[in-house]
Structure 1
Amino acid sequence: MSLTSDRNTQYKHANAIPVAVAAGVKIFAGAIVCANATGFATPGATATTLTYLGRAEELVDNTGAADGARTILVRRSEAFKWANSTLDPVTQAEFGKTVYIVDDETVAKTSGTGTRSPAGRVVGIDTDGVWIE
């Protein structure tokens, strides 16, 4: 139903959000964090079913526990500098374009012929990494 008067819409800051962690994973502080196909946090990896979330603010070890037994704080809405793939490097030509997740600290230029999930858009390239928003 459409509004017919003002609405006091609730909000919360989403710069850093707690996310339930997938079973059997360990996520290191500073790592790329993704949501897996069922919505649980997992470290970045070469896979097509991941959704980029941001950077892990802490170490969380959920290796011996079930889905959601632990949560991790994920920093979002910022640009983070990730390692640049040596085999499929991001170059200035990708500025503003989407790049892809290789592992929990590395991004690449291409989807690896359909094997990688998108990480985000390039907003800077340094000799030691790629800034992704």
Structure 2
Amino acid sequence: MPLTADRNTPYKHANAVPVAVAANVKIYAGALVCANAGGFATPGAIATTLTYLGRSEEFVDNTGGANGARTVLVRRSEAFKWSNSSADPVTQAEFGKTVYVVDDETVAKTSATNTRSPAGRVVGIDADGVWIE
């Protein structure tokens, strides 16, 4: 139902959020983190079902654990510098465009014929990496 008066809508800062970790994965501090199809945190990898979340703030080992047995703190809403794929490099022509997840530290220019998930938009390119927001 639409509001008929002011509402004190709750909020929280979402720059760093705990995310339930997928079963049987290790996420290293500083890793590119995605949510899998079930919504659980997993290291970036070549897959079409991942949603880019941000950077892991800590190491979490959920080897042998079930989905959600551990949580990982993921920093969001920032630009992070990831490694540039040597096989499918991001160039200045991709500035402002979406690039794609290769692994937990690397992004690439293309989806490789729809085999990679989107990582985010390019906001900078340095000799040693690509800044993604």
Measured against the shorter chain, the TM-score band is over 0.9
Residues 49-92 of structure 1: CA deviation (Å, up to 9, x unaligned): 00000000000000110000000000000000000000000000
Question: TM-score, normalising length from structure 1?
Answer: 1.00
Residue matched to 2:106: 106
Q: Deviations over 1:77-122 (max 9, x none)?
A: 0000000000000000000000000000000000010000000000
1:116 matches 2:121: no
Q: Structure 1 counterpart of 2:46, which letter?
A: T
For 2:48 and 2:63, how far apart are their aligned partners in 1? Answer: 22
Paired residue type of 1:128? D
After the TM superposition, which residues 26-105 of structure 1 pair with which residues of structure 2 at under 5 Å, given as runs? 26-105=26-105
Write out per-residue CA displacement over residues 19-46 of structure 1, whole angstroms, 9 at most, x where no aligned residue: 0000000000000000000000000000
| Root-mean-square deviation over aligned CA pairs | 0.3
Partner of 2:54, secondary structure, is: strand
Distance in 1 of aligned mates of 2:47 and 2:3: 41
Paired residues, what number?
133
What CA distance in whole angstroms lies between the structure 1 residues aligned with 2:114 and 2:63?
A: 28
